[in-house]
Amino acid sequence: LHKMKPATFTASVFFSLLSTSLFAQKATTSEDSLNNNTSKSATTIGGYGNVFYQRNSALQTSKINLERFVLFTGHKFNDKISFFSELEVEDAKVSGGEDGGEVAIEQAYLKFNLNANQYITAGLFLPRIGILNENHLPNTFNGNERNYVETFILPSTWRELGIGFYGNVNNLPLNYSVGLFNGLSSEGFEHGSGIREGRFEGRNASANNLAVTAAVQYSPGDFKFQVSGYYGGTIGFSKRKADSLGLNSGTFGTAVAIGEADMIYTHNGFEVRVLGSIVSIPDASKINQAYASNTPKTEYGAYAEVGYDLLHSFRNDHDKQLIVFVRDEKFNVNASIPSNGVVDGTLNQNHVVAGFTYLPTRNVAIKGDVRLVHTGAQNADLIINPSPVAQPYQQNYNLVNLGVALSF
């Protein structure tokens, strides 16, 4: 990640607030109709996907990739019980013995409507944390790539097995949720990606360690505010094995804590998004001793995005939009290091992303953007067996992205 000078970061945030993010008109899908209990048939099929071209100025390389295709299938048993599922293929193809690609179940859960204001979910689903995790259709966010803060600090899309309770307050624009899930695995933590590879995502998850999440949303007028949090254990071993590794076992042993707050403002074609999050791993030194993974004690990230729909004042067809946007992302996956860790300046990063999103209809997006990347310097202690043809590390480079996205 990148180390950006304070003056540069402040100026870029100021510029983003003055510049001309997302969509006043939301995409509608088969999943939405089932969730809102308005589907015309008992079984519904939908999905989403995206493909984009990327040019990397540092490597002088280009690639084009079918990043995701997701097939949604849902079923309404009656007015009280529904089923939601998504099957995801990443990078178009999975081939034995080759790197890349993934086939995964992104969600598979039952929804039980208790009354008009409350419901329960049970199975594999996405906790309400951040903006993107629950709302990640590629035609409903700006930029071909998901923002990096909600990729590495909040590891979207993050799904686990558990049970959730959701509700809203009568006569108030206030809703809430709480959830109980399996926890993470600190054995999977990797240098450079934080807690991301510690997710189980429904596969043979440990139930010895658990996690709790909670979120509150308040939506007065054109604003939407949210605070959310997560606290969970990362050791699923028996006490005997955990003790042999010097790790704390139990339900919340060797815990990870996450706090997050965000805001969305939408008015007359403008949209502003702001999000901040911090991850705390108090026992990072014990994890490093057990796995030599250079796990940090603290990670943080924040971004601000502003966008404007150029067609807002000139159209009767509200399906069409042409949004110009700019986003400033600041994050550090290596913010504070325990005594047995090594500082990696490249994980302290600042990204400025600017571009456009054109929606000829609500569920189709054509996108173009440039991502300007700045990182801290490499630490020579982390350069082991360098390739003789490796290029010098570049702290400043850019990514140019062009792509299309859809949902249905």
Q: pLDDT digit string (tens) for 192-224?
A: 999 999 999 999 999 999 999 999 999 999 999
Q: Which amino acid, residue 172?
A: L
CB-based burial, 192-219: b 16+ in 10 Å, e otherwise: eebbbebbbbbeebbebbbbbbbbebbe
What's the pLDDT at 192? 93
Q: Please return the burial class of 340, using the count of CB atoms within 10 Å of its CB with bins 0-12, 13-18 and 19+.
A: middle
Q: What's the confidence (pLDDT) of residue 85?
A: 98
Predicted local confidence at residue 386, as pLDDT: 80
Could you tell me where the DSSP H helices lie in 333-398?
none
- Cα–Cα distance for residue pair 375/7, rounded to 1 Å: 15
Report the C-alpha gap between 165 and 112 in whole angstroms: 10
**Average pLDDT rounded to a whole number, residues 365-372:** 98
Phi-psi region of 97 (alpha: psi -120 to 50; beta: other; left: phi over 0): left
Lowest mean pLDDT among 11-20, 72-81, 244-253, 255-264: 11-20
Q: Bigger pLDDT: 385 or 350? A: 350
Question: Residue 5 above 80 pLDDT?
Answer: no
* Token pair belonging to 237: 């071993």
> 105: burial class by Cβ within 10 Å (0-12, 13-18, 19+)?
middle
Pairing of strands 348-361, 298-309: unpaired
| Interacting residues of 93 by C-beta distance below 8 A, sequence separation 6+ | 100, 101
Query: Which range among 8-22, 139-153, 155-169, 212-226 shows the weakest confidence by mean pLDDT?
Result: 8-22
Q: What is the pLDDT of residue 229?
A: 98
- According to the per-residue pLDDT averaged within each range, which of 312-321, 338-347, 378-387 is highest? 338-347
Q: State the Cα angle at 287 between 285 and 290, rounded to 5°.
A: 110
What local confidence, expressed as pLDDT, does residue 22 receive? Answer: 39
Give the residue-averaged pLDDT of 62-85: 97
Q: How many CB atoms lie within 10 A of CB 178?
A: 16
CA 2 to chain centre: 19
State phi, psi for 364 to the nearest 5 degrees: -130, 135
Q: What amino acid is encoded at 11 in this protein?
A: A
For the segment 304-322, the average pLDDT, to the nearest whole number, is: 88
What global pTM score does this model have? 0.90
Residue 23, pLDDT score: 39
Contacts of 36 (CB under 8 A, 6+ apart): none
Of the candidates 154, 93, 185, the one whose C-alpha atom is nearest the C-alpha of residue 302 is: 154
Q: Can you give the pLDDT at residue 313?
A: 87
Task: Determine contact, residues 181/161, Cβ cutoff 8 Å.
Answer: yes
Name the pLDDT band for 315 (thresholds 50, 70, 90).
Answer: low
Least confident of 114-118, 290-294, 391-395: 391-395
- Report the range of poorest mean pLDDT among 11-25, 98-112, 167-181, 367-381: 11-25
CA angle 102, 398, 58 (to 5 degrees): 85
Angle at 162 between CA 156 and CA 163, to 5 degrees: 110
- Which band of pLDDT confidence, cut at 50, 70 and 90, is reported for residue 15? very low
pLDDT value at residue 14:
34
User: pLDDT tens-digit profile of 108-156?
Assistant: 999 999 999 999 999 999 999 999 999 999 999 999 999 999 999 999 9
Least confident of 88-92, 285-289, 387-391: 387-391
Evaluate if residue 28 carries a pLDDT over 90: no
Looking at residue 363, its pLDDT comes to 96
Distance CA(389)–CA(274), nearest Å, equals: 41
Rounded to an integer, the average pLDDT of 70-88 is: 97
